[in-house]
Structure 1
């Protein structure tokens, strides 16, 4: 494994943000009830087009026309799982990139079974917090429900193991993010301590990762890096005038919408 060149990645991230704004890719999100509105607004703010299509009767068919699919198991149920499995399979058959957000997958037997079945369908990118990624690799995490109780640095080896074993990109998010495809890796700073105090910022990030995956189908690693970089810069900007989590939530959406592609070079959070 080698560390990526931050300067080259920053330039690529700039080009990918410009591509998202130009192409407005359609991002199908099978996400949880808590995050639907905020995630859709984040996708719109970055310049893409969200479609919150999750019913089994139409989601697999819709996946065949989407630029990317995002599957989030936050408010999981048996009907939703059936739809997620069929949709992931449809995405795989059409080589449509799809992002998996394994929310609290280690909390219950139902979730543990669901995440293994979804992982077996080959997600293009897995985006989770440190506790989720450690548990996904088979380790013992300190996570409690959806909350991460482990540091990102503790999850780096788990991310590498998953990326190599599953041939996927793994993005671990926290105070300093870590992204790897098993061969390359990079750390991404930025953001704000207010971000985990706003419901659905992580879920919204997974949806935005989908937008970048849609315009970087040959290299999902750079897609994940670009999306996390945008969140890092927007989080820093939004925190400057935020008075608390409430004002941060809407300021963050405004900051995402105001991002200029060249800021990913000027204000690069890559390390």
Structure 2
């Protein structure tokens, strides 16, 4: 018998969950100004040629994102977890390239700095479940939980969208892995709502109960990394993680409503 379950995570074209394109551009401008104030002259000197190019060509938004990421990196806000030695082995699928593998390994080692993340990571290794990378049309990742007739879960996989690797945000990628590994964990331990047909299913086919559980695990991980206020200077997916944490701290009813709204898009079913 095989159990197969796709569990998409946050839509990649709306990482903040709420803001429109115009609002996003204004946030970029505001955050870039804050970053420039914080980092000052060295940042301006380092990226003077790039800034000149933006002013001449008007290609602001994409370049501003790159500049802002560099500025925020220089602030160097680190997750609050205790450090752990790098894992001697990480559960990567055979198709993962060396470059993608390093990004995933960095995220998994960050995931291991949290107690629950460490348990989920160990479970992936123990069960022989691998993590891979592919181009995903709408979501940032999914989990496929498969149990064989012998009881093995080794055919299960977690897939991450390539854009998440290219973004270079280990903390966000670690939170995504916690999310997807939680889906797998719930099937392995008999907690998934599909086992007793108790799921609340959205019109697009998404099982709300499972997404609430996985997003809650994601929010708890982010809270452990950056406390109740979230990451101080955030952009894109990190900003979305801060919003997720805010909703989680508003209580179970508000969080369920937030996840329902976040996961209710009809493209989830494609």
- TM-score after normalising by structure 1: 0.30
| The structure with more strand, counted as a fraction of residues | 1
- TM-score after normalising by structure 2: 0.30
Larger Rg: 2
| The structure with more helix, counted as a fraction of residues | 2
